[in-house]
Structure 1
């Protein structure tokens, strides 16, 4: 827990954001995260697969849900040993918007059913759904919302919730206002938002493909005014109970800027930026992280603050997980003090 104006807020650390996959097993990550004062973890699927290899000598098939459920039960016991709650399973990608009857839609719902089995095994009650970056999905927010509503109904009997997150390179829902619109259309009690300092500031204010690192084509004063208006609208319109967690990271200003095109893997520039250049706040980034955190707190939000960073620019920062975990907690404390 971390104190904010007399209120204790729970804290989490994404398992994909600490340590090296090959050298640091999931129990070692749990030890470092717990020892740094965090209350819970976002559990990433790559970490489940990696720990399955530790347990069984080979990495399991991502679609072998019977095996993944068994691995999940062991992970739950490890988390309990370190007094950590497994808050969420992530990242669930490219789920919503596929044409009805398509192979992609069938695969999306088959994955969802399997992931929900794993969630029950590990004791997580939230699945993070990232706004899809596929070019082949529907642009209709009604269609996207309907898929999320069906997903929410699938999870409801087990008390599972859907945290929908805007990814700033998403095809149709890159901003918090887009995903909030879709969540409202879905209209289910177990669908809410996963908000993220990087995804919103990196989407509405910054740009890794420009020399300035900012969105260009508008005057700086206009950019700042639009950003402040967006934050004020968030604080005014989103109920705090619909924000399931706030993920926290910063971003490096890219020098040289990223090329304004997709890479070999088909990932857009802001996706490339997200995957590799997101440090802790106060550790070399430049986004207005404090602005966004303040806007979320002004809603009355008293939920989970979760560290999710991807800092391949300086991998040495990850070598000592205990030290890095403590640095992350200090970063959160400074952020709330500001």
Structure 2
């Protein structure tokens, strides 16, 4: 495999609004070859089995087997399970211990899904709940990496900076953490939105950009080519976002008190690549080209999307999102001459 298109299950619609089997069917019919399983979809499938809000581990395993079978019937490879949230650097070490136990469950779920990758987004809990100590964070992440390394087959962890994460909000910081953890099965997921959305874009600005956007992005991309070991890039996500008509500050429809603006922007206003008609404006292709041509990445390219549109009701949502996603992939494939 050189390059193959993937999509995240949640990008096709909310679990409680859109049938999982139908979303899978639409993904395959559109031409996707891989899929990221969003835990919310899996949990919802388990709730259908359990008929209550708290499915047992056995019911989660049963749901995972069903999801695996459904994907296999459509020739879709499950490229990962995500997101394992709010893990590293907690001040509350009792909660940390609970999450280590939860990871044991996730490792079994991954086995039942038939996938060997779990994604961990960088923690975005409020700063007062986190130590901010990079050594503590690295030790925490090393702990789960060692748990995954003991599995057969080995489970890998793809650590992802979010552009609103409390401490690890750039690819540079995420890569530093990968080096600190220093485990063969601990790498990163590079996401064009989360990269460009931090160094280049600012939804609170009237311009939609940071003050030195172009120069800062150029320098960041040059560093990426020089610093990242591509063998530790486990998969990539390619996505864009809307330039908002007005700054995302108090009074904006997307504003939520106490929530980082970039998080509110991400949840409401991402787009697939090249959707200029929907306001897409990030230099997402530039970032993707750096990862693919500059680093030499080969593998799955996931067309991930979060947007207010995934919460709309109706069968048209997975239909339309699958179509939009594959159109974006085909344009990227053509523009970067991928095969």
Q: Which has the higher mean CA deviation after the structures are superposed, 162-171 or 131-140? A: 131-140
Q: 1:299 aligns with which of 286, 292, 295?
A: 295
The answer to whether the aligner puts 1:281 opposite 2:273 as a matched pair is yes
1:1-338 aligned at under 5 Å gives the runs 8-61=2-55, 64-99=56-91, 102-134=93-125, 135=127, 136-158=129-151, 159-216=154-211, 222-259=212-249, 266-283=258-275, 284=278, 285-297=280-292, 298-312=294-308, 315=312, 319-338=316-335
* Structure 2 residue aligned with 1:5: none
Residue 42 of structure 2 contacts residue 60 of structure 2 at CA under 8 Å; is this kept in 1? yes
In structure 1, the gaps of 5 or more residues are 2-7, 217-221
Determine the C-alpha separation between the residues in 2 that align with 1:132 and 1:247. Answer: 19
Determine the C-alpha separation between the residues in 2 that align with 1:236 and 1:337. Answer: 26
Please, what is the CA RMSD of the aligned residues? 2.2
Deviation at 1:320, TM superposition (A): 4.7
For normalisation by structure 1, the TM-score amounts to: 0.90
What SS class does the counterpart of residue 68 from structure 2 fall into? helix
Residue 243 of structure 1 contacts residue 303 of structure 1 at CA under 8 Å; is this kept in 2? no
How many residues align structurally? 324
Residue 60 of structure 1 contacts residue 68 of structure 1 at CA under 8 Å; is this kept in 2? no
Structure with greater contact order relative to length (CA < 8 Å, sep ≥ 6) = 2
What SS class does the counterpart of residue 75 from structure 1 fall into? helix
Residue 60 of structure 1 contacts residue 67 of structure 1 at CA under 8 Å; is this kept in 2? no
What SS class does the counterpart of residue 163 from structure 1 fall into? strand
Determine the C-alpha separation between the residues in 1 that align with 2:226 and 2:210. Answer: 25
Deviation at 1:337, TM superposition (A): 2.4
Residue 110 of structure 2 contacts residue 116 of structure 2 at CA under 8 Å; is this kept in 1? yes
For normalisation by structure 2, the TM-score amounts to: 0.89
Relative to structure 1, is the Cα distance of residues 30 and 234 closer, same or farther in structure 2, using a 3 angstrom cutoff? same
Determine the C-alpha separation between the residues in 2 that align with 1:28 and 1:286. Answer: 31
C-alpha deviations, 1:191-221, integer Å up to 9, x for none? 11111010000011001111111113xxxxx
Deviation at 1:313, TM superposition (A): 5.4
In structure 2, the gaps of 5 or more residues are none
Deviation at 1:318, TM superposition (A): 7.3
